[in-house]
A and B are shown apart, each in its own frame.
Chain A
Amino acid sequence: MDLKRINDYTWEIPKSGDMKVSTIIYTSSKLLESVKQDRTLQQAKNVACLQGIQKTAYVMPDAHQGYGFPIGGVAAFDLDEGIISPGGVGYDINCGVRLLKTDYLERDVYGKRTQLLAEIFKEVPAGVGKGGITRLNRNVLLEVCVKGAEWAVENGYGQRDDLKRTEENGRMREADPGFLSSRAVERGIPQLGTLGAGNHFLEIQKVSKIFDRDVARAFGIHSENQILVMIHCGSRGLGHQVASDYIRLMENKLGSRGLPDRELINAPVRSQLGQEYYKSMSAAVNYAFANRQMIAHWVRNVFSKVMGSSEGMDQVYDVCHNVAKIEKHRIYGELKEVCIHRKGATRSFGPGREEIPEIYRSVGQPIIIPGSMGTASYILAGTTEAEELSFGSTAHGAGRLMSRHEARRRFRGEKIKQDMESKGIELKSTNWKGVAEEASQAYKDVDEVVEVSHKVGIGKLVAKVVPIGVMKG
């Protein structure tokens, strides 16, 4: 494959063959080596062949092989000529991250972290083998899908202020749960308010380094050792079912049309089926916002109970990293609306964008990049350059390096727990196999991922955080 080095952190696959645009990969030479080991680059090239793609297909620094689109793939499509693809969003629609700040310091919390984790474990259902605590009926579920986090706040989960500190204010207005299959609804009912398994986790963290004090202060992060809580989860079975359903509907209606990969199935954005997918996907996005809103509320309750107060536990932000949206971007000088797909990528809007809350409009949106279990995570800020360089997008996490199977063969969950404890990190999980799969050695180096983001300018470093307590579903 023709891979051209542009500078230390940017590579290009020039347009060739069926590619309608070129592909730009933001990476380092070290990260590029692992990217070359799997099908990431071929998948990125395939994306560049899709109908109506605009400007360039982008690949983020944490990229790895996905289905159809690579994970860490960003692409924008013309609304008239272009497509929307369930594979360009992923199965876990609105998988995302929410960050809460606290006014506690490590010394306030350290001795109580065992109790905090035990209570969080009790309050927040992992949902593996057990349903959520709220048995919903179908009508309530549909309301959740219309209103998202707003539904949760109206029903006593959290505070109104959380909403404006959530991407899309916690609610995509385009949602229409009328287009959800009964299977999607059925899967959604028992799982609302659950964390899920796999790479999803909940961490009590402390700030270990502040890179940009002014921006950090704007985000509510004042000092090293300040305690934060990070929640990483998505739309659970409801979102997975929406993706599966619409892949099936699209191939039944439109066929695979000579696509290089069946997972790249898509429909024209403005077609009836394209719109039905978009409205269903938006419903799943809302479900995930409500899910994280409920979990955040339970975390606050636990802090109230164990620490005596949850005052000052404001939400920093909540970001999606698997989503398609209609956004305005400047393309070759012209401002136009496009259907942007971010699959394993975080929005990175800089100062001034009207989509970000007023409180952050002068500094850029907070970007939350979770590391692998038990390692550092990062808080970045969106940039104006990102709008030019990546349709306002950056990385979403560490990105896997090793298969889960290989990780299970090499690591033992119990040993990982011991190692983490020797570093002062408490881990609570009921699933040792799952812990082994999420071993930090199975992931790319998140430090390198965020450094590339910072150096390229698609998300600038604000703070580094490390866990002191981890709940894994």
Chain B
Amino acid sequence: MERYRFLEHTSDAKFQAFGNTLVEAFCNAALATASLMWDWEKVEKKIEFKVTIEGKDLKQLLNSFLEEIIYLWDTKMFLFCFAENLRIEKKGSRYNLSALFKGDKYSEKYKIYGEAKAITYAEMEIKNKGDFLVQVVVDI
């Protein structure tokens, strides 16, 4: 299955990410986000960060989850390349997410393509039609 696909958007980066499960679609959305800044396929899995996120709904959960990649890059120079053990749980009316972010610390061997400023709610979609699709616009 295709992991993600970028679509036309006048000023920013809009993508759809796919998965057999919601977890897989979230994971692929994380890769799409990283692909705006570096080539995640070339990043070694040398260090890891434990990530836990809460959201009042799935869209807020997705927004905060993807923001974590930008935050860890800006503050720890961490190049994300995969989300392991990604779990999404519903607790009451809220959602919790936990994952182990794998990747490497930036060094000259990695090429940085650009910046992602923020994850937006613009045109955000999370769809379940047997397979899962999430759509996100990233402010770049």
Binding site for B on A (CB under 8 A): 37-38, 64-68, 71, 91-92, 128-129, 131, 183, 186-187, 189-191, 196-198, 237, 240-241, 243-244, 247-248, 251-252, 261-263, 400-406, 431, 433-434, 437
Residues of B75-122 at the interface with A, using a CB-CB cut-off of 8 Å, are 75, 77, 106, 110, 112-115, 117-122
Q: Among B10, B60, B113, B139, which residue has its beta carbon within 8 angstroms of that of A401? A: B10
With both chains docked as a complex, state the minimum distance between the C-beta of A345 and any C-beta of chain B, in angstroms.
15
Q: Which 4 A-B pairs have the closest CB atoms?
A: A262-B121, A129-B112, A67-B122, A237-B74
Known A244-B118, A248-B64, A252-B56; 16 more pairs at CB < 8 Å: A64-B11, A67-B137, A92-B117, A129-B110, A191-B74, A197-B114, A237-B75, A240-B117, A240-B118, A241-B118, A248-B63, A400-B11, A403-B12, A405-B8, A406-B8, A433-B113
Q: Tell me, yes or no, whether B43 is within 8 Å of chain A by CB.
A: no
A433 to B12, CA, bound (A): 14
Binding site for A on B (CB under 8 A): 6-14, 56, 59-60, 63-64, 67, 70-71, 74-75, 77, 106, 110, 112-115, 117-122, 124, 137, 139-140
Q: Contacts A129-B112, A240-B117, A406-B8 given: A261-B140 contact, CB under 8 Å?
A: no
A400 to B11, CA, bound (A): 6
B56 A263 Cβ-Cβ under 8 A: no
Of B6, B11, B12, which is in contact with the most chain A CB atoms at under 10 Å from its CB? B11
With both chains docked as a complex, state the minimum distance between the C-beta of A30 and any C-beta of chain B, in angstroms.
16
With both chains docked as a complex, state the minimum distance between the C-beta of B123 and any C-beta of chain A, in angstroms.
9
Chain A contacts for B115, CB-based, 8 A: 128, 196-198
Q: Among B8, B77, B122, which residue has its beta carbon within 8 angstroms of that of A403? A: B8
A244 B8 Cβ-Cβ under 8 A: no
B11 A66 Cβ-Cβ under 8 A: yes
Chain B contacts for A243, CB-based, 8 A: 118
Chain B contacts for A406, CB-based, 8 A: 8
A190 B121 Cβ-Cβ under 8 A: no
Name which residue of chain A comes closest to B73, CB basis: A237
Name which residue of chain A comes closest to B76, CB basis: A186
